[in-house]
Amino acid sequence: MSRSRGDPDKRVKTARGRTASSTRWLERQLNDPYVREAKAAGYRSRAAFKLIELDEKFGILRGSSRIVDLGIAPGGWAQVARKKRPQATIVGIDLLPTEAIEGVTILEMDFMADEAPDAIMGHLGGPPDLVMSDMAANTVGHKQTDHLRTMGLVETAADFAIQTLAPGGQFLAKVLAGGTDAELLTLLKKNFKTVKHAKPPASRKGSSEWYVVAQGFKG
Report whether 7 belongs to an annotated binding site. Answer: no
- Between the two ends of the chain, the Cα-to-Cα distance in Å is 39
Q: Rounded distance, CA 133 to CA 173, Å?
A: 5
- Are the beta carbons of 52 and 81 closer than 8 angstroms? no
For 148, residues 6+ apart whose C-beta sits below 8 A from its C-beta are none
Q: How many residues does the chain have?
A: 219
Q: Rounded distance, CA 156 to CA 218, Å?
A: 19
Report whether 110 belongs to an annotated binding site. Answer: yes
Q: Choose, from 57, 143, 174, 190, the residue flagged as catalytic.
A: 174
Report whether 134 belongs to an annotated binding site. Answer: yes
Burial of 126 (0-12, 13-18, 19+ CB in 10 A): exposed
Q: Is 174 a catalytic residue?
A: yes
Q: What are phi and psi of 55, to 5 degrees?
A: -65, -40
Burial of 198 (0-12, 13-18, 19+ CB in 10 A): middle
- State the binding site: 75, 77, 94, 110, 134
- State the binding site for S-adenosyl-L-methionine: 75, 77, 94, 110, 134
- As annotated, the active-site residues are 174
